[in-house]
Amino acid sequence: MQIDTRELACGGLFVAFAAAFAYGTVDLPLGSALRMGPGYFPLMLAIILGVLGLVIIFKGLGRAPSPIGGVPWRGLLFILAGPIVFGLTVRGLGLAAAIALVAAIATLASARAGIRLMLLLTLSLTVFCVIVFSYGLGLPYALVGPWLAPFLPGR
């Protein structure tokens, strides 16, 4: 029998989310309809989500697979890394370096950007953002963080 793999994956993902949320309500008091506990409404939703997921899977049975299309793996890796790297470094390295890192990582996500474009973009984005966010909007974050302090001249 044919199975639409996209629908299977989609329904499966919803069922998985439903199971995870349902499991999360295990320790929560359910209460009654009169006095609903913190677990009542989420458990209700989780059950609905689970049922919807199962129906999506069921409807995918016996159908030809829907096209999913290519996944830009390189883009996926670097785009998701961007905010994470920013989060890891903005306190330690400071705003300026964190911006530069994100910009550089982001350009790597595209197969089209060469090294020259990368440097140019990183530099211009960093300068632009420092001027706009730090000086213009006055965000209260250190431009140069403690990790870089030992390398600063004049200390």
The footprint of other proteins (CB under 8 A) covers: 6-7, 9-10, 13-14, 17, 21, 24-25, 28-29, 32-39, 41-42, 45-46, 48-49, 52-53, 55-56, 59, 66, 68-72, 75-76, 79-84, 86-88, 90-91, 95, 98-99, 102-103, 106-107, 109-113, 117, 121, 125, 129, 133, 137, 139, 141
Give least dist CB 151 to other proteins, A. 23
Please report how the helices 73-89 and 95-108 are oriented relative to each other, as an axis angle in degrees rounded to 10.
170
Give least dist CB 149 to other proteins, A. 19
CA distances from 148 to 12, 86, 125, 129, 151 (A): 47, 15, 20, 19, 6
Question: For other proteins, which is the closer residue by CB, 82 or 148?
Answer: 82
